[in-house]
Amino acid sequence: MQIPPFPTVRLLAKADARAVRHGFPWVYANELVLDRRSRQLDAGTLAILEDANRVPMGVVAVNPASKIICRMLDQNPEAVIDAAWCETRLKAALAHRETLYDAPFYRLVHAESDGLPGVVIDRFGDVAVIQPNAAWADVLIDTLTDALIAVTGVTTVILNGTGRARTLEGLDERTEVIRGAAPDGPIAVPMNGATYMADVMGGQKTGLFFDQRPNHAFAASLSRGGRMLDMFSHVGGFGLAALAHGAKHVLAVDGSAPALELADAGADSMGCGASFETRKGDAFDTLTALGEEGGVFDIVVCDPPAFAPNKQSVEAGLRAYERLARLAAPLVREGGYLCLCSCSHAADLTRFRNASARGIGRAGRRGQVIHTGFAGPDHPLLPHLAESGYLKAVFFRL
C-alpha cells in the first residue's frame, strides 16, 4: 500500500478544473502536464491532483498508459487510501443494496458511481466477483479484497480480469480465485421469481447480468399466457423471468452453447423445462429463418451486446440496431410487444430509439412506445458521467 506523501500531478491551464471539482471523476491525458516525471509513474500510482495554480484538488490514481490518465479517488487531498477507506466505500454501497433487496444477489459496486473508480463487484450470496478495470484496483486488490470480506462476510472472492476495459488500461487478462475456494458448479441465483445458473468462473462477464432485472420483470408482466422469443438470451434472462410469471412457452436463442445449457438448467430447476426451448445460432440468421418459418410470438425481446461500444462505431451500431428491429418486428403478433435493448453508452437513448423505430417501420409495422427501462438501482448512474447510464430498453406495442 502506497504511503503519503504522494507525488503531485497538475492540470493544464486549458483543462476544466471546475468539472473535476464538481464531481467529474476523470482527467484525460491531454488535460494533464506530462513531463518526464509524470510519464514515468507506475500504473496505479496514487498522486495529488493540482489545478493549474497548484491548488490541491484530491487524491487520484494515475495510469500513464491509459487515455483516462487520472481517476479521482477522494476529493480530500489528505485522504489515506487504505483498508479503512475501502471499507467506508463498501459499507455505503452495501447499505444501499440491502435496502433494495432481501437476498444477497446484486451488483454491490458500480465503479465510479459507488466511489470506487473502475471497480465492479457482483455478489452471488457468499461469493463475490471483482472486476478491477483500473490499474489502482489491480495494485490494491489484496487491500480491497480484505475490506470486501470484512464488510460483507463473503467467503469466496474471484478476480475476473477480462474485458475491453482492462485492455484500454493496459492491464493483462486473468481469472483466479483470490480468497476461498472456487464453486464446484454454477451458482443458483434467485431473481424475479426465476432461478438462474451463473458460471462465475467461466461465464460471460461475472456470470450474470444483474442490470436487466427491472426490464426482465416488466417484460415478464407482458408475457403471461403467451409465447416469448428471447434473442441473445445468455443464461435465460428474459425468458426464465417470463416463465416464472406465467408465460406459456419461451424460445431462447444465443450464440453460446454453454450459456444455453445454463439456461436449460435454470428452467429445469424451476420445473419449467417442458415450456423452455433453446436454439443456438447467429441472431440475424435465426431471426431471418424464423420469419421464413412463419414464426409468431406474443413478445419478442432482443438484448444484444454493445453494437456501438465507442464513438467511432456509433453509425455502424445504429444500423445494426435498425436491422435487428426490422427482422424482429414481423415475428410479433398484431397487438404484441417488441422489447429492444442497447448497452452501448455511445448511442444515446434518442438515437437508439429512433433507429429501432426506423427498423420497425421498414418491416411494415407501426409501434407505440409503452415503456422505457434502464439498469436497476444497484447500477446507480453518476450524473457527471454519461457512460454510467449505458443501458436502455425500449418496449413497443406493435
Average pLDDT of 109-136? 97
Q: What is the CATH number of domain 192-397?
A: 3.40.50.150
What is the Cα 5 distance to its own chain's centre? 35
pLDDT tens, 160-190? 998 888 988 999 999 999 999 999 999 999 9
pLDDT band at 95 (very low <50, low <70, confident <90, very high): very high
Which range is least confidently modeled, 9-18, 102-111, 165-174? 165-174
Q: How far apart are CA 210 and CA 128, in angstroms?
A: 13
- The H or E element containing residue 299 is strand 297-302
Q: How far apart are CA 243 and CA 241, in angstroms?
A: 5
Q: Which grid cell sits at 128?
A: 463475490
Q: Is-cis flag, bond preceding 132, omega within 30?
A: no
Tell me, what's the pLDDT at 165? 87
Contact 105, 195 (CB under 8 A): no
Other CB atoms within 10 Å distance of the CB of residue 112: 22
- Kindly report, as residue ranges, where domains of CATH 2.30.130.10 are found in the chain: 8-74
Task: From 231, 229, 242, 232, select the one nearest 192 (Cα to Cα).
Answer: 242
Q: Which grid cell sits at 392?
A: 436502455
Other CB atoms within 10 Å distance of the CB of residue 326: 19
pLDDT band at 310 (very low <50, low <70, confident <90, very high): confident
State yes or no: pLDDT of 1 exceeds 80: no
CB proximity list for 50: less than 8 A, separation 6 or greater: 8, 9, 10, 11, 56, 57
pLDDT tens, 222-279? 999 999 999 999 999 999 999 999 999 999 999 999 999 999 999 999 999 999 999 9
What is the Cα 333 distance to its own chain's centre? 31
Q: Is residue 275 classed as helix, strand or coil in its secondary structure?
A: helix
Tell me, what's the pLDDT at 387? 78
Average pLDDT of 53-63? 97
- In CATH, the architecture of 8-74 is Roll (2.30)
Q: How far apart are CA 16 and CA 28, in angstroms?
A: 11
Tell me, what's the pLDDT at 242? 98
State the pTM of this model.
0.95
Cα dist. 269→210, 220, 266 in Å?
Answer: 19, 18, 5
Q: Name which CATH class applies to 83-179.
A: alpha beta
* Top-confidence residue, 163 or 362: 362
Tell me, what's the pLDDT at 386? 79
Q: Which grid cell sits at 273?
A: 423445462
Residue carrying C-alpha cell 456509433: 314
Other CB atoms within 10 Å distance of the CB of residue 214: 15
Task: From 379, 387, 228, select the one nearest 296 (Cα to Cα).
Answer: 228
- The H or E element containing residue 284 is helix 283-292
Residue type, position 30, single letter: N
Residue positions annotated with a catalytic role: 343
State yes or no: pLDDT of 5 exceeds 90: no
CB proximity list for 168: less than 8 A, separation 6 or greater: 66, 67
- Kindly report, as residue ranges, where domains of CATH 3.40.50.150 are found in the chain: 192-397
